[in-house]
Structure 1
Amino acid sequence: MPDWVPQNARHYLAHIEAGLPIRALARAAGCHASTVLRQVRRIEAQRDDPLIDAALRRLGTYQRRSPSFGPEKDHATMTAIARIEETEIDENRLSREARRILRRLSESGAVLAVAAEMDKAVVVRDTADGGTARTAVVDSAVAQAMALKDWIACDAPGRISRYRITALGRTALSRLLAEQESRLRGFAEAQTAFSSGRALEAALDDTEDSPQRRRSGYALSDSPLTALARRRDKTGAPFLSDALVSAGERLREDFELAQVGATLPPDWDLSQPVGPDDPRAPLRGVEGARVRLARVLRDLGPGLSEIALRCCCYLEGLETAEKRMGWSARSGKIVLRIALQRLKRHYDETTGPGGGLIG
């Protein structure tokens, strides 16, 4: 059974699917039988949740492989096992996807929409004009794992169920982000011992004035773009339209997919060609995200690319960005809007209208 499965779910499946007694499970776990009984009853009460029920049905197939079911298994069961093993997630993938999805769910008004019999779940959030915008897409298997671990919860299951991040989910997100930061810093220290590590030092410099410190002036639930989108100009219109916010989120997706933990290294020459000659040529995976990121930063140019990276990717507050870039007060939001307009034009020209969100 996958490592990410919580202990209470393991006890439930061992008792329900394999028929193991409560007392035997308690002896193996080194706890009282009433503890295991409460765990089993709690999981049983959660089976009305569509994601949890689907996760338990998937994991039940693993339990039915145990020797207690005998060496002979029907063809349908073996086929189901093979199909599930092909798509099953591991601990590393769950952590990587959970960082991305839980971060999106931490934004104001964000929910995870799950439709019955669909292979994907979608994160949507409310926009300033009263509509909704899609911010991420995740495999249903990952959503099932997050629900089983109580990171997300559904208030009213239905044809389209809506899940919100829980207190445990916010705690898990903080832990996952801290672990990622620790790995990045440990990797940087190891590289410095063998090389100059100029790019990594720029990425992970821990001095107070370093723009790469990745300390945000905003909470995850209130990024600089969403905060600006709620502001109104003199005419009463949103200061940032949904299209501009989507362009900024598109840049952030490429930034995270490329696993870039820093701004551009000082020796990266943006005047050189990047990737295929055709800007509309399909680019996939991590390398494709790096190529797209390099292209858009080269298109924005100095100044605009830096403010876009700081506010869209590093989630720095406008006041912090203005101070570190030496700009006058209250000038950052104007320059940021110009950068987002240029960013939207770039995505419209290369991926078509709407920016082509990855999900």
Structure 2
Amino acid sequence: MPSWVPHGARLYLAHTEQGSSIRALARQTGCHASTILRRIRQFETRRDDPMVDEALRRLGCRVAARDETGPLDQETAMTAQTKFDHKDSRTAQASEEVGGDVAGVTEAQLTAEAGRILRRLAEPGAVLAVAAQMEKAVVVRGDGAADPTRTAVVDRAVAEAMALKGWIACDAPGRLARYHITKAGRAALGCLLAEAENRASGFADAQAPFSAREEVSAPRRVRYSANESPLLALARRRDRDGTRFIPEDLVRAGERLREDFELSQMGPRVTQDWSRFLTTAGGGDPAGGHARGFEAARRRVEGALHDLGPGLGDIALRCCCHLEGLEKAERRMGWSARSGKIVLRIALQRLKRHYDSLGEAGGMIG
């Protein structure tokens, strides 16, 4: 059983799959029987959610059947093991067809992917779309006035784990389910952002390792609002003639840079100083060359920032990647008030031209 599985889900599986009684579970955990029953019923009612139901079904196949009433004879034990192996093999085959088994998701993988996906879901108008029998789940964002924009893609197994932990929820299940971030998901996102900030500041060794449990409610401080990025807030502004100050194609260019930046942070070089190479010669390989994964993403970010150059690259890095507000960026760079939005729009125009020159390699990764 993975370590990230909630305690209530463990009780539910022990009761339904292993046949443990409510009183036996209460004695093992030191809780009252009514408390155990309430936790089990919570997960029973959540099985209307398709991803929660699938996650519990696959985790249940990992739990070996046992008899609480007494020792099994050899024939009964062999029969139970044969049924379990057959059930587990069918689940493994279905997992390969649908895109991974939720039981194979590790704590580190869930923490890394959840920080990326929950941050996208915290943006206004963002939902996680999951279709039946699809390997991936897609985060899309839209305000109803324009076509939805795809901002992230995640494996279905990770999305099932997030649904099981209660970080995302679906109000209207169907063949195409739309999930939104919950209050517990926003709390978990705040803990993830605080941990990332402490790690970048050098305080990670003095902190206890993050465990995204629902009961964690430690005070925290976040440098910026997780609900939206400065680029999205600026994109809603309009000129006197009613046109958007930053068109949708420029927003997509900024989101493309942010996507590569977040992918590059998943590697071991998470504390890299991105401002160092802006004053060095050479621009790296903008398309990533033969590198893979986070290393290729880091090279793509370097290539884009080198193409922008000092000034334009600084404002794009601060606002699109580090999500700094325009006023803070203006103060730190010594610019006059209200000049940052003009420079940022010029940087996005240059960034769009950079990605257009890459052809298909300049599109979103998902």
Which TM-score band (shorter chain)? Answer: 0.7 to 0.9
Q: Gaps spanning 5+ residues in structure 2: where?
A: 68-75, 207-220
1:263–1:309 CA contact under 8 A, matched in 2? no
Q: Which moved more, 1:341-350 or 1:305-314?
A: 341-350
Deviation at 1:19, TM superposition (A): 1.0
Matched residues in 2 for 1:299 and 1:100: separation?
26
Q: Comparing both chains, which one has the higher relative contact order based on Cα–Cα distances under 8 Å and sequence gaps of 6 or more?
A: 1
Cα RMSD for the two superposed structures: 2.6
| TM superposition shift of 1:145 | 0.9
Q: What residue in structure 2 maps to residue 22 of structure 1?
A: 22
Separation (CA, whole Å) in 2 of partners of 1:133 and 1:51: 23
The match for 2:10 is 10
1:220 aligned to which of 223, 226, 233: 226
Cα drift, residue 180 of structure 1:
2.4
* TM-score normalised by structure 2 residue count: 0.83
**Structure 1 residues 10 and 67: alpha-carbon distance in aligned structure 2, compared to 1, 3 A threshold:** same
1:128, 1:238 within 8 Å by CA — same for their partners in 2?
A: no
Pairs within 5 Å for 1:224-303: 224-259=230-265, 260-261=270-271, 263-264=273-274, 266=276, 270-272=280-282, 274-275=284-285, 279=287, 281=289, 283-303=291-311
Structure 1: which amino acid aligns with 2:87? T
Question: Paired residues, what number?
Answer: 331
Change in CA separation of 1:119 and 1:6 when aligned onto 2, cut-off 3 Å: same
2-structure distance, mates of 1:334, 1:128: 27
Comparing 304-313 and 234-243, the one that deviates more: 234-243
Q: What residue in structure 2 maps to residue 161 of structure 1? A: 177
Q: Does 1:356 align with 2:366?
A: no
Aligned partner (choices 134, 138, 141) of residue 122 of structure 1: 138
Offset, 1:66: 4.8
Overall identity of the aligned pairs, in %: 59
- Once residues 360 and 353 of structure 2 are traced to their aligned partners in structure 1, the CA distance between those partners, rounded to angstroms, is 9
1:194 maps to none
Alpha-carbon deviation of 1:266?
3.6
Amino acid at match of 1:139: D
1:77-115 deviation per Cα after TM superposition (whole angstroms, max 9, x unaligned): 343465669741111110111100110111011111111
Equivalent-residue separation in structure 1 for 2:204 and 2:31 (angstroms): 42
Q: CA deviation at 1:351?
A: 4.2
Q: Identify the range of structure 1 (127-136 vs 81-90) with the bigger mean alpha-carbon deviation.
A: 81-90
- 1:33 aligns with 33
Alpha-carbon distance in structure 1 between the residues aligned to 2:35 and 2:19: 17
Q: Which residue of 1 aligns with 2:211?
A: none
Q: Structure 1: any 5+ residue segments left out of the alignment?
A: 191-213
1:26-49 CA distance string (max 9 Å, x none):
111111111111111111111110
- The separation in 1 between residues aligned to 2:173 and 2:194, in whole angstroms, is 33
**Contact conserved, 1:270 with 1:294, CA < 8 A, in 2?**
no
Against the structure 1 CA distance between its residues 215 and 165, is the aligned structure 2 distance closer, same or farther, given a 3 Å change threshold?
closer
- Tell me the distance in 2 between the aligned counterparts of 1:41 and 1:279: 51
